[in-house]
């Protein structure tokens, strides 16, 4: 009787391994930004407080969607701002007015998104907090 030849262990296709590595790089980037950017810690605390309030008040599904989009957009803007600042510092270590403008505009994008997220928060949480303390 002929024994079957053992099959080599199956390896994940290269594309799947590459995609998994990409996620690892992305998480490493978020972690690196958290280690160096104080503003991200503020956003992290605000995110925890927001999720806690959402659980406490029992938000509707659409409200969770609005809150998640607002929180995610602020995080995204802050991470892009951090990346822009790093690249500007790399290519223009000395002061240059255009480098300063690029940093200011990137920071302005974070401010605009944070104000929009604040508006979402006030619309969703405002009436509930008002009712809680307005008794």
Nearest one of 82, 103, 3 to 36, comparing CA atoms: 82
pLDDT at position 9, please? 66
Q: What is the DSSP letter of 6?
A: P
The residues, ordered by sequence, that sit 6+ positions from 55 with a Cβ below 8 Å of its Cβ are: none
Query: How far is the C-alpha of 82 from the C-alpha of 72, rounded, in Å?
Result: 15
For CA atoms 95, 98, 101, 106, the dihedral sign is: negative
Has 85 been annotated as catalytic?
Answer: no
Q: Each residue of 57-90: pLDDT tens digit?
A: 999 999 999 999 999 999 999 999 999 999 999 9
Single pTM value for the model: 0.82
**What sections of the chain are H helices per DSSP?**
14-36, 38-57, 61-91, 97-133
pLDDT-based confidence at residue 41 (cuts at 50, 70, 90): very high
pLDDT at position 135, please? 63
pLDDT at position 21, please? 85
Selecting among 3, 37, 78, 85, the annotated active-site residue is: 78
């Amino acid at each position: 009787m002929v024994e079957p030849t053992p099959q080599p262990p199956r390896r994940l296709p290269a594309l799947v391994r590459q995609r998994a590595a990409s996620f690892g790089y992305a998480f490493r980037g978020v972690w690196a930004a958290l280690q160096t950017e104080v503003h991200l810690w503020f956003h992290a605390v605000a995110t925890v407080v927001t999720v806690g309030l959402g659980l406490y008040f029992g938000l509707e599904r659409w409200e969770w969607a609005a809150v998640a989009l607002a929180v995610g957009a602020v995080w995204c803007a802050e991470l892009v701002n951090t990346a822009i600042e790093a690249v500007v510092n790399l290519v223009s270590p000395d002061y240059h007015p255009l480098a300063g403008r690029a940093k200011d505009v990137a920071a302005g994008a974070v401010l605009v998104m944070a104000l929009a997220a604040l508006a979402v928060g006030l619309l969703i949480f405002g009436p509930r907090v008002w009712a809680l303390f307005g008794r």
